[in-house]
Amino acid sequence: MLRTRRVPGFVFVVASLALAPCAASAQSIGGDSMMFDVPNYGQSIFYGSVFTEDYRNKVSGKARKAKASARAEQRLARAESRTSSARDVPVAAGGNEAVYPRDAYRVSYDPSVSDAVKSDYIRGMAQSTNEKTARELDTYYTRNDVRDLFNTAIKPYGLRDDDLADITSAHLVVMWMTANDAPLPTTDQVHGVVAQIQEQMAESGASPPDAATRQRIAEAMMYQTVTLIRVREQAQAQNATQYLVTLADSAQDVMARQNVDLRALSLTSSGLELR
């Protein structure tokens, strides 16, 4: 999914890794160290019960069909909302209609917060990998705004960068793609995941308490998502098979620590479902 294709400069960087001074070698960013920590407001808000095996096993028979139907209706409402000013889309939660509290998850962008997130990201990469990789990424993201790259990746799917559910969904789909070595998903599949994330957020009843925190969470996920896309595409271009295996295992392990088994899930028009 969510490739940064057709972006002047970015595709060139991916295609000419060995020569571009701002591009980090795929093999220099190892596995788990690439998975940048997202500020923690309870990961259950984002990747909670709806993705765990116990919960998914309970959703069967008529209940499973009802939820799939509700998600289909939600996707239609969501598509309509993209062309209107209304931003509150009904979602199914616990078998009852709930409203995704969009304003509670709205993301705005303060340049000073963006600078702080970038600094934290580069510092974290220096600690988890090495100074050379961190410098290369710092140069790259100084020349290429992470938000612009992220928006290029999500635009074909009708997602937005001012909605934390959309950002989280993009992150989750890229993690799933990486763990499963999967191709780009369809728009319906991505919107199915968005409906699940909205459901999770509605069920959790919790949200980051202030705009700065929402922005930090959003941009942290953007850095992780864009870097993951970039490194994966680079490794594919270099036919770095073993590195792709390592990267896939890392994505799987990161989510497994949140009780989400990406390899036990299939990406469908209803979102991520148990195989």
Residues 210-249 pLDDT 10s: 899 999 999 999 998 999 998 898 888 888 898 899 889 9
Query: If pLDDT is split at 50, 70 and 90, which confidence band does 55 have?
Result: low
Q: What is the pLDDT of residues 147-194, one digit of tens each?
A: 999 999 999 999 999 999 999 999 999 999 999 999 999 999 999 999
**pLDDT value at residue 20:** 27
Q: Give the count of beta carbons closer than 10 Å to the beta carbon of residue 215.
A: 21
**pLDDT value at residue 87:** 40
More confident residue, 24 or 196: 196
Which of 88-102, 138-152, 200-214, 249-263 is predicted most confidently? 138-152
Query: If pLDDT is split at 50, 70 and 90, which confidence band does 9 have?
Result: very low
**pLDDT value at residue 60:** 53
**pLDDT value at residue 255:** 84
Rg of the chain taking only CA atoms, in angstroms? 18
**pLDDT value at residue 77:** 58
Q: What are phi and psi of 182, to 5 degrees?
A: -105, 155
Whole-structure pTM value? 0.76
SS (H, E, C) 37-100: CCCCCCCHHHHCHHHCHHHHHHCCHHHHHHHHHHHHHHHHHHHHHCCCCCCCCEEEECCEEEEC
**pLDDT value at residue 174:** 94
Measure the CA–CA gap between 260 and 53, rounded to whole angstroms: 8
Query: If pLDDT is split at 50, 70 and 90, which confidence band does 124 have?
Result: confident
What's the mean pLDDT in 131-147?
A: 92
Q: Is the dihedral of CA 82, 105, 176, 231 positive or negative?
A: positive
**pLDDT value at residue 92:** 35
**Apex CA 97: angle with CA 91 and CA 99, to 5°?**
55
Q: What token pair was written down for 121?
A: 């990201």
**Apex CA 177: angle with CA 255 and CA 189, to 5°?**
105
- Compute the mean pLDDT over every residue in the chain, rounded to the nearest whole number: 75
Measure the CA–CA gap between 172 and 212, rounded to whole angstroms: 22
